Chain A
Amino acid sequence: MLRYKDGDVAAFEILYRRHNDSLYRYLLRLSLNRDTAEDLFQEVWGKIIKARHRYRPTAKFTTFLYRVAHNCFIDYVRSNKRHMVVSGIDPECSPDPGDAPDLEAEKSLARQRLDVALGTIPDEQRDAFLLHEEAGLSIDTIAQVTGVNRETVKSRLRYATKKLKAALAEPAVQTQRTA
């Protein structure tokens, strides 16, 4: 980021390639809407680009990046209360061309079950779970990013895991009926 601040675009590209997919999935699972995720994705990177002159390496770039992403999502939720109603994640997105059609169909179904299960838990718990799974952040870092204390993060993670485990353990037909 410091190199990009000095005008090195290649350094930014390396940074971007390191974090782009995980950030995209974080925003996609968090917002449960593809269009919203893409808008938030561009907004987050736009803010990172604009903030390059003010950036200070006081923490890991991952922490800085996901803090910006978390704040963008919070702003989106405040300005659009209906984001939970629309669930537009395409289950057939980015298919792997090397997979067989049967295997791809099974993965698509499992991905859909995961999205449905994630949609059943509250935003705060899903946020904590995704920050742990996608960004690999520790409890303390999640607390720093989300602005809550450590025990709250642990509680959210525990509840999110419990609900996801229960939802994924259900039969696929029942899960789809619930969704």
Chain B
Amino acid sequence: MNQDNDKYEAMDVDPQVSAHYEKFADQKTPADLDRAVMHEARRAVRADNRGGSFGAWFRPVAFMTTVGLSLVIILDLNDAGFFSPPADMSFETAPPGPVKVPDDSAADASGNLPQMTVSEVMRQKKSAAAQSPAVDAPDNSSNDAGVSKSRAAVVNDAFTAEIKNAEQRVEKTEAAVDANLQSRPGAAVQFTAPQATIATESHLVVEPVACSNEQKSAVEEWWKCIETLRMSGLTEAADRELENLRENFPEFEASE
């Protein structure tokens, strides 16, 4: 306590009052309070020590674990197509329009190929996979994430399969035409049957270029065939058939 009177004057405190206070204000802190405060101080230090050793390795491990789990979830969602737009929408609204995909089962009798969108191909693919799971389904026990091969990959598979089917159909058609030509005598030189066909890229067109043997058996029928050829604009073929007719039936008088 300050005992200097000058200082007390400067502090505006009476020295007698201060002395009286100092004399009788002599209470001590209760022992239980001392113990409680010191216990709290020791407990805080122990908590610091535990937190220090624990936090030294736990925080980096927790951070790395969080980052790793986040990456796994993002990759899993990406594989499931969560972040990509649906394949149906992207292909059906594409500027070139619907994709023409030939299909054997849907082809009509004339050989014209139906127009199918990718979604239809996808649906057919899925229905086929459902009907024969042992062939197409890679793993029946897998869950959604396992089965969810990306839609783009499925579409690519569908395109590949359909292209192969189209190539096989073209090969079959060419083989059928060759067989038809080879089965007829003199076919390599001349098309003798009206049903002889010319294959085009998209469909088959029947073009009569000569009269058949059945028509040639009767002179009237042969003449009608010649008239048909001429009216069709095939004048050279008509003249050729007429020359043959005169050789075989010299008595026939054609009305020119």
A165 touches B21 (CB 8 A): no
Determine if B18 is an interface residue (Cβ-Cβ < 8 Å): yes
Tell me which residues across on chain A come within 8 A of B48, comparing CB atoms: 7
A4 touches B41 (CB 8 A): yes
B27 touches A42 (CB 8 A): no
Grouping DSSP codes into helix (H, G, I), strand (E, B) and loop, the A interface class, with mixed when no group exceeds half, is: helix
Tell me which residues across on chain B come within 8 A of A41, comparing CB atoms: 29, 33, 37
Question: Given A24-B27, A136-B1, are A12 and B11 also a contact pair (CB < 8 Å)?
Answer: no
A42 touches B28 (CB 8 A): no
Interface size class of A (residues with CB under 8 A): 35 or more
Question: Given A7-B45, A111-B25, are A132 and B13 also a contact pair (CB < 8 Å)?
Answer: yes
Residues 9-43 of B, flagged 1 when their CB comes within 8 A of A and 0 if not, give 00111101110111111111110011011101110
* B-contacting 9-mer, from A46-54, A61-69, A78-86: A46-54
Tell me which residues across on chain A come within 8 A of B16, comparing CB atoms: 165
Choose among B25, B28, B33, B37 the residue that contacts A133 (Cβ–Cβ < 8 A): B25
Tell me which residues across on chain A come within 8 A of B26, comparing CB atoms: 94, 96
Give Cα distance in the complex from A133 to B49, angstroms. Answer: 39
A42 touches B36 (CB 8 A): yes
Determine if B2 is an interface residue (Cβ-Cβ < 8 Å): yes
Determine if B44 is an interface residue (Cβ-Cβ < 8 Å): yes
Tell me which residues across on chain A come within 8 A of B45, comparing CB atoms: 4, 7, 9
Residues of B in contact (CB 8 Å), total 32
Tell me which residues across on chain A come within 8 A of B28, comparing CB atoms: 21, 24, 94
Choose among A9, A29, A50 the residue that contacts B25 (Cβ–Cβ < 8 A): A29
Q: Which of A4-20 contact B (CB under 8 A)?
A: 4, 7, 9, 12-13, 16, 20
Residue of A nearest to B49 (CB): A7
B1 touches A93 (CB 8 A): no
Determine if A72 is an interface residue (Cβ-Cβ < 8 Å): no
Tell me which residues across on chain B come within 8 A of A143, comparing CB atoms: none
A21 touches B27 (CB 8 A): yes
Residue of B1, B17, B36 with highest tally of chain A CB at under 10 A: B17
Question: Given A7-B49, A25-B27, A133-B22, are A158 and B44 also a contact pair (CB < 8 Å)?
Answer: no
Tell me which residues across on chain B come within 8 A of A33, comparing CB atoms: none
A133 touches B1 (CB 8 A): yes
Determine if A110 is an interface residue (Cβ-Cβ < 8 Å): yes
Give Cα distance in the complex from A24 to B34, angstroms. Answer: 11
Give Cα distance in the complex from A7 to B33, angstroms. Answer: 21
B40 touches A49 (CB 8 A): yes
Q: Which of B119-156 contact A (CB under 8 A)?
A: none
A94 touches B27 (CB 8 A): yes
Give Cα distance in the complex from A81 to B13, angstroms. Answer: 29
Residue of A nearest to B12 (CB): A158
Determine if A28 is an interface residue (Cβ-Cβ < 8 Å): yes
Residue of A nearest to B21 (CB): A133
Give 9 closest A-B pairs by Cβ, nearest first: A158-B12, A24-B29, A45-B37, A111-B24, A157-B12, A20-B29, A161-B14, A110-B24, A12-B41
